[in-house]
A and B are shown apart, each in its own frame.
Chain A
């Protein structure tokens, strides 16, 4: 058993789970929802094992380090955290159908990583040889994942709110009846961001602490740092929006989607389009 085989199984599981969620949404067969989430959990387990195995494999190769060191490994980890946060949300609030809007993010990550990125285990460059790598990456990505889940929920919110406005009939049937009520979606969006925001804050602080330890500057307005602050500003605005009149509902949902777009740019866009300190060792 190799980690690479397990990662392929994971990707397939997320694909099956996503498709099952779509069928569940249209057929409204409860059993399908249960199977869809069971497959997602199976994928999560296999991915957890794969990450642990890859960690071990790196030690077997003599370049032992946590599998969080390049673009491939970070995308895989991001996908893992998304399913993890979704699983926690499902255990706590039991709104299964959200999976139809969250699993695509996890699948997209795994598919891109498996098909488009260099999967080789590489030794750690000097800049990354620090325990801070672990704390920094884990907090950041758990935060990003919570924002991904919030984004999925916000898309559901906008679809449902739009559907209720256009249709005069009460949402008795059709796809939208499967969605949780918009009040619940609004609340779940807030709860997901409530988890993501402290984690992002911790991620920025651990990054600053690491930068200070490695370079003597905790903040240097590097594009990555600046974009993480931009994301922080957007979600800080979201949180304040909830106590401001006129900013609830749709506008808050849009703010959450914009926040996730900024998150993705902070994570990938900065590396692809701008220059800076976070090259993920993949910029060769």
Chain B
């Protein structure tokens, strides 16, 4: 039966059943995963691309390094790991299954020799009476035994948690369930983003795949507020949202509050507080160092303004009161970024109440011009993550199975006890699938208790 074909299949099977492959895959996955933590994933930021050479960029692109966790070679490794753990499980499962479903119930000489825990108690009383006593003892002190009689010899077999031998396979199964959940999520779910201006509503969101998705209902932002602690660090980002069906507010979803760590779910679609900003205008005045030639500038909150010298200016962050961030200062201030035509980027803080600081900054950087901040028009918008993931329940089921499986695999043990009653001798044997040291103690105290129990009951 050794045709070349079956030979090949055999060695392929052996290859996938090998634990060496498991070791190789786990270590490879660990090492390869590092790449994506060093190279930015998704759309790499401009600053990063400016740092590395064009040749490198092209190489990384060709190798899929900018989206490595979805690259064919990373997915292939995950598939190989899956095949490997399925194959290993299939290979070992029948043997384990046999141990569980067809236990050896008779303590013969061969089994006795193979056990490390064996003890003999001398008891000349009638075998059938002793048998009853031992059965009762095991029932209360260990587990209910199975009784077999072979040629006038009594064999008792009792076991605890045989199923825990399967726990490793449950862990393996849980990995596959998690993968299935992830696939269901990517096939039937979506992830997107939407920005809503105060007072406005949207019915479409932009997906990560850059497609637009119609929600089937509308979402209106009533208000966005930002609360801060006394030290200026953010305390709460809050969007008040109303769901609209055919333009009418849905009662239970009117003025619903969404904050970070407390999303809103409607019709299986969940909205998460993610970002915010001011879409209103920022006002600046630009002049020469001596204050001559003042020009008013209006910078839209969501885009940048091109300056006459070819550079562009945009607002990073604004505050109505700078005092928590800078001691001794007060009033409105903005942090702006200026991109010069030569590719240089400058970030600076511009104040409304401290023109002297604005002049100082301009002096430090040559001749000016000086930028002064004149305040902002408030028009807040909220940025929401939008997600629907029907696979997430499957993933949690997998996680639960994994935790239970790992616990059982490490901390539970299949313990078996055999007893043979023959010629006035009670022979006890025991075996545990794990943690032999602890079982030895259990076994010894079990035998001691049995011994003293039998002596007590003697008439």
Given known contacts A123-B235, A216-B272, A241-B23, is B29 in contact with A233 (CB within 8 Å)? Answer: yes
The 3 closest A-B pairs by CB, nearest first: A216-B387, A233-B30, A126-B260
Interface 9-mer from A72-80, A81-89, A153-161, A196-204: A196-204
Q: Produce 1/0 per residue, A65-101, CB < 8 A to B.
A: 0000000000000000000000000000000000000
Q: Is A248 an interface residue (CB 8 A)?
A: no
Within the assembled complex, what's the spacing in Å between the Cα atoms of A227 and B273? 26
Residues of A within 8 A of B19 (CB): 240, 243-244
Q: Which residue of B lies closest to A190 (CB)?
A: B410
Residues of B within 8 A of A243 (CB): 19
CB distance from A265 to the nearest CB of B (A): 9
CB distance from B179 to the nearest CB of A (A): 12
Asked if B272 and A126 make an inter-chain contact with CB atoms under 8 angstroms apart, the answer reads no
Q: Is B297 an interface residue (CB 8 A)?
A: no
Asked if A227 and B37 make an inter-chain contact with CB atoms under 8 angstroms apart, the answer reads yes
- List A residues 219-274 near B (Cβ within 8 Å): 219, 221, 223, 226-227, 229-230, 233-234, 236-237, 240-241, 243-244, 247, 262, 270, 274
Q: Which residue of A lies closest to B395 (CB)?
A: A218
Residues of A within 8 A of B26 (CB): 233-234, 236-237, 240
Given known contacts A127-B260, A213-B261, A214-B272, is B30 in contact with A201 (CB within 8 Å)? Answer: no
Asked if B396 and A209 make an inter-chain contact with CB atoms under 8 angstroms apart, the answer reads yes
B interface residue numbers (CB < 8 A to A): 19-20, 22-23, 26-27, 29-30, 33-34, 36-38, 40-41, 69, 182, 191, 229, 231, 233-237, 259-261, 263, 270, 272-274, 385-387, 389, 392, 395-396, 399, 402-403, 406-407, 410-411
Asked if A208 and B399 make an inter-chain contact with CB atoms under 8 angstroms apart, the answer reads yes
Asked if A237 and B261 make an inter-chain contact with CB atoms under 8 angstroms apart, the answer reads no
Residues of B within 8 A of A236 (CB): 26
Q: Which residue of B lies closest to A195 (CB)?
A: B410
Asked if A198 and B406 make an inter-chain contact with CB atoms under 8 angstroms apart, the answer reads yes
Q: Which residue of A lies closest to B400 (CB)?
A: A205
Within the assembled complex, what's the spacing in Å between the Cα atoms of A223 and B33? 9
Asked if A123 and B229 make an inter-chain contact with CB atoms under 8 angstroms apart, the answer reads yes
Given known contacts A123-B229, A237-B27, is B403 in contact with A205 (CB within 8 Å)? Answer: yes
Q: Is A31 an interface residue (CB 8 A)?
A: no
Residues of A within 8 A of B33 (CB): 226, 229-230, 233
Asked if A221 and B36 make an inter-chain contact with CB atoms under 8 angstroms apart, the answer reads yes
Asked if A274 and B37 make an inter-chain contact with CB atoms under 8 angstroms apart, the answer reads yes
A interface residue numbers (CB < 8 A to B): 63, 122-123, 125-127, 129-130, 132, 194, 197-198, 201-202, 205, 208-209, 212-219, 221, 223, 226-227, 229-230, 233-234, 236-237, 240-241, 243-244, 247, 262, 270, 274-275, 281
Tally of A-B Cβ pairs under 8 angstroms: 113
Asked if A262 and B403 make an inter-chain contact with CB atoms under 8 angstroms apart, the answer reads no
Q: Which residue of B lies closest to A129 (CB)?
A: B261
Residues of A within 8 A of B29 (CB): 233
Residues of B within 8 A of A244 (CB): 19-20, 22-23
Residues of B within 8 A of A198 (CB): 403, 406-407, 410
Within the assembled complex, what's the spacing in Å between the Cα atoms of A241 and B23? 7
11 more A-B residue pairs beyond the given contacts A125-B234, A274-B37, with a C-beta to C-beta distance below 8 A: A123-B231, A123-B233, A125-B233, A213-B261, A213-B263, A215-B387, A233-B33, A234-B27, A237-B26, A241-B23, A243-B19
Within the assembled complex, what's the spacing in Å between the Cα atoms of A237 and B33? 15
Asked if A240 and B22 make an inter-chain contact with CB atoms under 8 angstroms apart, the answer reads yes
Q: Which residue of B lies closest to A131 (CB)?
A: B261
Asked if B191 and A262 make an inter-chain contact with CB atoms under 8 angstroms apart, the answer reads no
Asked if A216 and B37 make an inter-chain contact with CB atoms under 8 angstroms apart, the answer reads no
Residues of A within 8 A of B410 (CB): 194, 197-198
Within the assembled complex, what's the spacing in Å between the Cα atoms of A230 and B273? 30
Asked if B237 and A126 make an inter-chain contact with CB atoms under 8 angstroms apart, the answer reads yes
CB distance from B398 to the nearest CB of A (A): 10
Within the assembled complex, what's the spacing in Å between the Cα atoms of A127 and B233? 12
List, sorted by A's number, 17 A–B pairs whose CB atoms are closer than 8 Å: A123-B231, A126-B235, A198-B407, A216-B270, A218-B389, A218-B395, A226-B33, A226-B37, A229-B33, A230-B30, A233-B27, A234-B30, A237-B22, A237-B23, A243-B19, A274-B38, A281-B233
CB distance from A234 to the nearest CB of B (A): 5
Residues of A within 8 A of B411 (CB): 194
Within the assembled complex, what's the spacing in Å between the Cα atoms of A63 and B274? 23
Within the assembled complex, what's the spacing in Å between the Cα atoms of A183 and B229? 56
Residues of A within 8 A of B385 (CB): 215-217
Find B41's partner among A126, A208, A221 (CB 8 Å cutoff): A221
Given known contacts A198-B407, A214-B272, is B229 in contact with A126 (CB within 8 Å)? Answer: no
